[in-house]
Structures are given as C-alpha cells and as structure tokens.
A and B are shown apart, each in its own frame.
Chain A
Amino acid sequence: MTLELRVNGTTQRVDSAPDTPLIFVLRNELKLTGAKLGCGLEQCGACAVLVDGEVTLSCVSSVESFEGKNIVTVEGIGASELGRLVQDAFVDATAAQCGYCTSGLVVAVTGLLSAQPNPDRDTVREALAPHLCRCGSHPRVLRAVEIAAGGS
C-alpha cells in the first residue's frame, strides 16, 4: 500500500505500513533524520514537525493520519524567511549543548513565532514546555527566540 505525503513542499510516495508513526517514515524512508526520537510517547518534543503550520509531535500518530496535510520538518524550515531567521538566531545564541533537542525546538519556535510574532517571555516558556532539554540550554533558547522575534 502506498501513501502520499506532502513533505517540505514536495509530494512523496511512501511504502511504510499505514500504522507506522510518522517519525519512522520521515527518518528511515525519506531519510529526513532531523526529527529525533526521544521517547516515542509525545513527552519530550524532540520529534516536532509543522503540520499545516501547527507544531505537531511525530512519534505516535500514524503516517496515514498525515495524508493530504502539509508537513514541514527541520530540514525544510529554512525555506521560509521566518524559519531561516529562527535558525540563524539559534546559531547566534549558540542555543544548544548536545543538540538533541535542537531540531524540535527550531520547529517549535518557528511555529510559535508564525502564530505570535512578539510573544512575551512567559508565553514562550509555556509554548516550549512540551520540549525537554537535559543539558540546560534553556536560557540560550529563550535568547534565540528574542533574537528571532526582534528580527522578524
């Protein structure tokens, strides 16, 4: 059975079983390894992608539930001006230590700023609460959001 997925602006045919969680299709079949598997339980945010502009976790919901939707992974985030701004802001703020949480956060911040261009600090903290970082790079991520918001 073949499904059609729209990922990063192009339509792709995928052969994975329809109940496969989206992340495995992205990573293994489409070789988009930017989304990270951290828990497989929608508890850590490392697997975030944008689905029709909404920040969405990709580690539980089946690939078939994403048919007909517009998926943007961290690899495609830079196609938008806002996404590129967010990426540059993360680099400027060195907003990572080990970096395993980074792609999920880049996606989440892009999603947040496209909905709310100038969020206050508490709004940002709430919006990023689903995303874990164990190295403690939170202050730098918050700084990156400020930089990106200031530049957009």
Chain B
Amino acid sequence: MSLNAYPRIKDWLGVQDNRLVLSSGKVDIGQRISTALIQIAHEELSLPFDRIRVAPVRTGLAPDEGITSGSNSIEQSGRAIRLATATLRAHVVAEAVRKFGGRDADWSLENGALHGPGANAPVDLLSIASELDMSLPVDLDASLREQGVERVRAPMRGMRDLVVGSYKFIHDLDLPGLLHARVVRPPHAKARLLDISQKGRERVAEARLRLVQDGSFLALVGADEWQVIDAAAKLQNACSWSDQDGLDDGDVFSLLTQSNAQRFTIVDSKPSDADIPAELGRVDAQARFERPFTLHGSLAPSAAMAEFSGGLLRVHTHSQGIYALRESMADSLGMSLEDVELTHAPGPGCYGHNGADDAAFEAALIAQEIPDTPILLKWTRADEHAWEPFGTAMAVELGAELDTDGNVSAYSAEAISGTHRGRPRPGPNRAGPARLLANHFRTEPIGPAPAAPNRNRHGGMHRNLDPIYAFADKRLVKNLVDGLPHRTSALRCLGGAVNNFALESFMDELAYAQSRDPVEFRLAHLKDARGIAVLKHLQNLLAERAGEAEALSTGVAYAQYKNAMTRVAVAVEIAVTEEAEIQLERATIVADAGRVIDRAGLEAQLEGGFLQAASWALCEEVTWDRDGITSLDWDSYPVLRFDQVPRIHVHIIDQPNEPAVGAGEAAPGPTLAAIGNALFNATGLRMRRLPLTGDAIRRQALSM
C-alpha cells in the first residue's frame, strides 16, 4: 500500500516556485492519472489548476508505487494524494488560526487563499504551507473537503500541447550529439546469429555507422535516423541465423489442456494448495471458450533514450514500472542500483506490458558501448508486432449443473493459458533479467524465464475466474501452461477478459436454452445490490429503446472487474452484413465506479475499454509460421478503425459516498461477451473462439 511505505506529507507533496508539486509513482499511459491527481489536489486545497504540477517520475525521487497497472492508480496514488492534501489543509488552517486568531471553522478556502478573522487580506495557502514541517505524517483519517455539486474539472494535462504538436513523447526527445539506434532482429525467438557477411560489415563501415553486438543482439547506430533504418534493414539480409527447428506452428489451442499444465485450485479468488476438486456430479451444460495470442499493439513502437557517462546510466523510458525495471537492468549490466537512474517519459497507450521495458534495456546495452552519447532507440513497427510480449492465448472451460428451476446450482470453471506475468520484476533465479528480451540473445544469455504462477487474489489468469454470481457450489481451477510458442505478459484485463467473455457468453446460452430473458437470468443469480442496480439501469434503457431498433440484434453482458472494482453492464446492437461481418451500430454502457473524480476521464476509459475489446472481438489475432511471426503490420494484424466505431452511450451511476475504484479494465470483458451474444441473437450462431471475423462466422455457419 502506497501510504504505508511513504507515510509523510513530503513523500507526496512539495511547494516550489509558489506551486504545489505532486509526487506520484504512477505514470500516465493514456489513462490520465496525472489529470486525476491534479483534480484531487484542487478539490482538497481549492488551488487553481495552474498552480498544481506533477513531478517527473524518476527513480530515487518518486515514491515506489510498483507497476502502473491493474486499474489501481486511483485507489493507490489517488488515495495518497487525497489524504496528503487533506492533511496539509488541516495543518494550514491550524497555522492560520495560530497566526491570525479565530477557530478552524472561521476560516474558509477559496482559489488557493484563506479567508478568516484577523487577516486584512486573503492569505495564500501555499505561502503558509511552505513554512510548515512537511515531514509530518499523512493523517489517514483526515477529513475530506465537501465538494459542491458543480465541480470544476481539470483540463486534460498536455491536451493543448498535443493539438499544436508541441507535446513531447519519448520519441521526440532530442539532445546535442544524439545518435539514433535500431536493433537488427533475428527471424524468430529461437534463431541465433551465425554470421554477418563481409559485405554487410563493409557496408556498415562505409556508411560510418556503429555496429553494437553482444552475441546475437545486434544494433546499428548513427546520426541520421533514416540512414540507420535503411542500413539496419540491409544488414538483416547480410546476417545468417541458425534456424533451430523454427517456431512450433501447430494448433496452439491443442496445447491448452489440463494435462500440459501446472494446476491450482482457486479458493477465495486466489490459488491455494488444496487438491483439485472433483468434477461436477452432473453436467447439464458445458462449453469451451478461446482467444488467440493478442497484441498490445501500441500506436507508437517502443522507444527509449539512454546515456552512459562517468559510470552512471541514465535512461528515459515509457515503462509502467521504473523501479522494478531499474533493478533488473542493473542486475543484467552488473551495475549497482545507485548508478542506474530511470525517468518516465510519455509514451503511447500501452494496455499492459508492451515493448517499453525491453527497449529501455536495449538502449542501455547500446549506450554502454558508446559512452558519453545520448542514444535514442526506437523499435520499428515490425519489431513491436513481432517482439512485444503478447497477451497469451487462453481457453476457459465452463460447466453447470442446473436446479429444477433452471438456475445454476453447481458451477465449474477451468482457465488454461500461458503466463500473464512476463514483466521484468526481480525474483528468484534472476527472473527479472530473464524477462528482458535482449538478455536471451547475449553472449552469456539469461532466460527466458519459466512461467511462475501469480498467487494474488484475482491475479493473472484467474482474474474474474471466480464468478460474480451467487452459485451455490463452485469448482475453480487455474491451469498454467509453460512452453507456448511465444513470450507473453500482461495485456489489459489479464485473464479477466476471457474469463468474463466465457462466463457472460455461457450465462446467455443458459438463458436462451430455457427461453428466459438473459438480463432476468443474470439478476436471478446476482446478489450484489449495486450490481443489480447497474443491470436494471441498462434494462430500463433498453426498454426505452424497444421498438426503435427493430432491425438490430442486441447482446448484453455484465461484470464487476476483479469482483471488487467497477461494475459494468454493456449492451451492443449489431447488424450482420452480407459478407457475414459484424457491424457495430450502438453500444450502451452503464457503470458504477464509486465516487466520480474525473467524469470525462472515466467515460473515456469506459469508451476506450469498449473499443479495444471490440477490436479484439472483431479483428485481432497474432499469426505465425515456422519461420517467424507473420502478423507484422496493421494489414496483417487488422484492428478496429473509425469506420467500424459505433455510437457509444455511457451512463455513470455516481456513488459520492463510496470509494473511487479504477475503471480502465472494467469494460473489455463484458464487451467481448455482449458482441458474441448479439451475434447469437442475430444469427443463432454461438461463437466461442475469438476473433469473430467474417471468415470465422462463415466457416461456423457452413459447418452447422
């Protein structure tokens, strides 16, 4: 917990140049956490937005809040900033009372100034704050400031800079003497360098480029970016690689079986050492749901800037976890932690563990060879498509026993996948370095790391495996398969995406099999009052639309992320084209994320979650053959485009007295299922393997 490790006000807040500086270990990855933190500080201290700034996130300065992931930023950093600013307010008011008189209640705050008895003019809050002892502890019970109904919303940080082209992404960093770098990649993960042709080496020398080599890790470096890109492509053709046996190009779903797996019984939403429970006594319905390897597919290929100078390594990175990455990089390079400094720089939306960490380490390897020179490494589009750690292929097998009313009396769920846990976190057997891509290829290789089960509640594969519905009896098993053909790691929602797709498709199947209304069927099994309210709200919205949308087919689904965070009900209306392609017409999302802090940001996360899942559902699938990954660009790995985007209506149920919970990963799971359920409604086809492409739909229709 962030506040346990960093209990003092000054861990989170500082005053500099008459502005409040917020320190957070969470980084902006498109989810607007820094805007939300500014909003929170504004709410507690009434400071104008332009007097609040967010400090750069740098090792040694920022609180170590682990990885920015799991939709935890608001609960962790947000809570810390909320309580730190509330504590500061109490101390500032007490100081005003001491200086000028009156009681606490006589003093009011407006626009960053204190108004009260004994002071002729408003007293600036920050000038009092700057005289206070900021090493005082954050009061965990600090009273929060009442918020008016019409709250002023912080503008999105950096928005104006984005539209005029002055916002600096990591790719835009520039320093005197900077050199550009590109990595020359093997054809696939098993291939190793045999030889670089003489001609290839000569061409590099003639172009006065630098070749950096450590075993099969190769990079080209030079001042002219285009020349480096062009030369790297040519050098690739001048290399010969050991082929090994190539990639395993068999059916990956045939590898996703219990007999290939390390098995864990899930008890209380986490793996236990209990025996695998017996199969259901009677199975009235069962189904298996599948999803292929999926890309994060960040719009910008990963990048990093590194400089090695005077024994110090300084790296700019868009990693989600600079402290963990620093430790694994220092270990890989044989450096001490103090000699490695990582600073977060803005990158593209990452949706989980993409190539950012690997790029940072590769830039460092290059910088070590070319000291006193800033090295800006960018991955190519093909690098990112082929070498980012994919979201794992996954299967979920469900079974149900029904009572005499047709309700679920016993439930079985088995999730089967590779690891969702490939981040370079330090661990036994140098697990951190073993999860950095370049280490696999160095002269003295480290890794790849074996899959290690995530044992946290709703961690990894078993996220949302435990159903949100009150089934009387349930057996839940997680099956971790090692040795799948591709490196995999955390992709937005982890196992929650497929677990929710499976459960919510299955609930739909069970309802239709009994000719029961699918929403009513869910309500019959849901005991959580707020969840029921969310579903009923959606039901009412759909009832209002009945008759309006005759030609369209609707699918619904519900989920509560990690069974503890944002509750989301989704309805999707679709049409199916002559080519059997799904056309999304309209989406309705109802959500309860507790107390609303940044409504626009919350809506954006829900819309964004919907659209990313829509892209997964309709388009996304990594493909490969023996010789390497074949989905290497946006044509061979299509994603959702503007002309496929439906109208989206978001309805938020604000709960001012409930804690704010993260929403970044709440919508995708139910979205996948709602689209599949709409397809069933439209065609009678129950599709249980993603993606639901026109080809796949035609195949299934013909096979019936």
Known contacts A75-B165, A134-B612; A98/B29 CB under 8 A: yes
Q: Is the CB of A37 within 8 A of B171?
A: yes
Majority secondary structure, B binding face: loop
* Candidates B32, B297, B642; contact of A97 at CB < 8 Å: B32
User: What's the Cα separation between A100 and B645 when bound, in Å?
Assistant: 19
Residues of A within 8 A of B171 (CB): 33, 36-37
Majority secondary structure, A binding face: loop
Indicate if B604 sits at the interface (CB-CB under 8 A): yes
Q: Is the CB of B225 within 8 A of A137?
A: no
* Candidates B156, B163, B168; contact of A33 at CB < 8 Å: B168
Residues of A within 8 A of B162 (CB): 90, 96, 99, 102-103
Indicate if B100 sits at the interface (CB-CB under 8 A): no
Indicate if A133 sits at the interface (CB-CB under 8 A): yes
Q: Is the CB of A24 within 8 A of B225?
A: yes
Q: Is the CB of B163 within 8 A of A106?
A: yes
Q: Is the CB of A21 within 8 A of B604?
A: no
Residues of A within 8 A of B611 (CB): 136, 138
- CB-contacts of A100-152 with B (<8 A): 100-103, 106, 122, 124-126, 128-142
Q: Is the CB of B608 within 8 A of A38?
A: no
Indicate if A53 sits at the interface (CB-CB under 8 A): no
Task: Return B468 CB to nearest CB of chain A, in Å.
Answer: 24
Q: Is the CB of B226 within 8 A of A24?
A: yes
Known contacts A33-B172, A136-B612; A87/B299 CB under 8 A: no
- CB-contacts of A1-55 with B (<8 A): 16-17, 20-21, 24, 27-28, 31-41, 43-44, 46
User: What's the Cα separation between A13 and B628 when bound, in Å?
Assistant: 43
Task: Return A111 CB to nearest CB of chain B, in Å.
Answer: 14
Task: Return A75 CB to nearest CB of chain B, in Å.
Answer: 4
| Size range of the chain B interface in the assembly | 35 or more
Indicate if A74 sits at the interface (CB-CB under 8 A): yes
Q: Is the CB of B641 within 8 A of A132?
A: yes
Q: Is the CB of B349 within 8 A of A134?
A: yes
Residues of B within 8 A of A40 (CB): 229, 380-381
Known contacts A24-B226, A33-B172; A90/B608 CB under 8 A: no
Residues of B within 8 A of A43 (CB): 381, 633-635
Indicate if B264 sits at the interface (CB-CB under 8 A): no
* Candidates B163, B299, B645; contact of A44 at CB < 8 Å: B299
| Size range of the chain A interface in the assembly | 35 or more
Task: Return B620 CB to nearest CB of chain A, in Å.
Answer: 11
User: What's the Cα separation between A83 and B155 when bound, in Å?
Assistant: 21
Known contacts A43-B633, A74-B164, A134-B299; A98/B643 CB under 8 A: no
Q: Is the CB of A34 within 8 A of B166?
A: yes
Q: Is the CB of A44 within 8 A of B348?
A: no
Residues of B within 8 A of A56 (CB): none
Indicate if B558 sits at the interface (CB-CB under 8 A): no
User: What's the Cα separation between A134 and B169 when bound, in Å?
Assistant: 16
Q: Which residue of chain A is the closest to B153 with respect to CB atoms?
A: A94
Indicate if B134 sits at the interface (CB-CB under 8 A): no
| Best-buried of A37, A46, A73, A130 by chain B (most CB within 10 Å) | A37
Residues of B within 8 A of A34 (CB): 164-166
Task: Return B26 CB to nearest CB of chain A, in Å.
Answer: 15
Indicate if B351 sits at the interface (CB-CB under 8 A): yes
What are 18 A-B contacts defined by CB distance under 8 Å? A24-B226, A27-B225, A32-B165, A33-B165, A36-B169, A75-B166, A77-B164, A87-B164, A97-B608, A98-B28, A99-B167, A103-B162, A125-B643, A132-B299, A135-B608, A136-B608, A136-B610, A140-B607
6 cross-chain pairs, A with B, having the tightest CB-CB distances, nearest first: A34-B165, A136-B611, A136-B608, A98-B30, A74-B165, A98-B349
